[in-house]
Structure 1
Amino acid sequence: MILIAMGVSGAGKTRIGELLAERLRCTFTDGDVFHSEASKKKMHDGIALTDEDRWPWLRTIREAIEAKQRAHETAVFTCSSLKRAYRDVLRGNDRDVCFVYLKGTFAMLHERLASRTGHFFDPSLLQSQLDTLEEPGPDEAIVVSIELAPEQIVDEVLKQLEARRAP
């Protein structure tokens, strides 16, 4: 099983991904590590990424997912996965890839980004991410509000994951 914590910057993907991996006793990989230096610089400089910037990044994450699958490992990844087409690349034809959409309001996300330090993402790009976002529905992802505490989010994800696996 592969879980991908998704959402715009500031949604808490890394924290939730780490907690999910801890609870599932599996590996965690932050999708940001697969960004090229050029893409990181663009985001740091407040320049939104284009699809052309994202496709190689998404394919690299997909390769990492496939490596985990070949090893028969459960793993948690993070990736903004803003568009359905991006999620299609990451999912491939696999039934065992599950997205976890961390959903929040502009105000909450903006507040989180304003207080974050040491990250390459320029908070001014939040609106462009929200404009790009094609929200997944419950048929495509487990949807959880980021208004909950991190542990509550993880509990809710695991509860919904179990319900999806039940016959």
Structure 2
Amino acid sequence: MDAATSDLAGLGIVIMGVSGCGKSTVAELLAKALQCSFIEADDFHSPANKAKMSKGIPLTDADRTPWLEALRDAIKEKLLLGENVTVSCSALQKKYREILRSSDISYKPGSFSKCRVKFMCLEAPAELIAARMKKRSEEGKHFMPASLLRSQLDLLQIDEAEGISKIDASMRSEKIVDDVLVLFKGTWRCAL
């Protein structure tokens, strides 16, 4: 992070990755550690999107765009108030992340390091994620079936220029949060 970025108030950290990688758990724990707001992207899906995914049908970009725009607006609201926020969102492709980056009204496309919305990607072996998805689906804890994992893995694209840090999602959630806190120390408007 450069000095110009750290001087601005309010930062959004999006914990991203495929379904089942632990995004929600990590983003919520991070929000508690930072004493800031947490936004769960799944809460912004329409009933139609949730129904489609629960039937094992991947979303199209037409399905995703209104969802991402609603999420963007929620992040923007926090940033405009100078507040920090953590977000859990798959954000699998650069074009989806660009919608979320536009939460920062000062963001200019391609100026990733200056954007007030940062991304951390949780990664783990597909077998581990599939096992997690199967377990929570069997327990009725999520609408996304393990059958959609392959479509998510196929969609996941990260441009190295974006500077997205990748974190091993097989670690304990608390360890992941500690690593994120170290990475962003000095950028949050709160005492760490």
Matched, 1:106 2:126: yes
| TM-score normalised by structure 2 residue count | 0.81
1:29-80 deviation per Cα after TM superposition (whole angstroms, max 9, x unaligned): 1000000100000000000000110011111111001100111111111110
The SS at the match of 1:162 is coil
- Separation (CA, whole Å) in 2 of partners of 1:4 and 1:16: 10
- Give unpaired runs (5+ residues) of structure 1: none
The 5-angstrom pairing of residues 49-60 of structure 1 reads 49-60=59-70
**Residues 104-138 of structure 1, C-alpha deviations (whole Å, 9 max, x = no match):** 11111111111112211111000000011103548
Match of 1:76 among 86, 90, 107: 86
Q: Percent identity among equivalent residues? A: 39
State the TM-score, normalizing by the size of structure 1. Answer: 0.93
Identify which range, 59-68 or 93-102, moves more after superposition. Answer: 93-102
Q: What is the CA deviation profile of residues 79-99 of structure 1, one whole-angstrom value per residue up to 9, with x for unaligned ones?
A: 100001100110121621111
- 1:16 is aligned to 26
Query: Is 1:147 matched up with 2:170?
Result: yes
1:126 matched residue in structure 2: 149
5+ long unaligned stretches in structure 2: 1-10, 108-113
Number of equivalenced pairs: 165
**Which one has the largest radius of gyration?**
2
Question: Is contact 1:4-1:97 (8 Å) kept?
Answer: yes
Shift of 1:164: 7.8
Note the aligned Cα RMSD (angstroms): 1.7
Q: Which residue of 2 aligns with 1:32?
A: 42
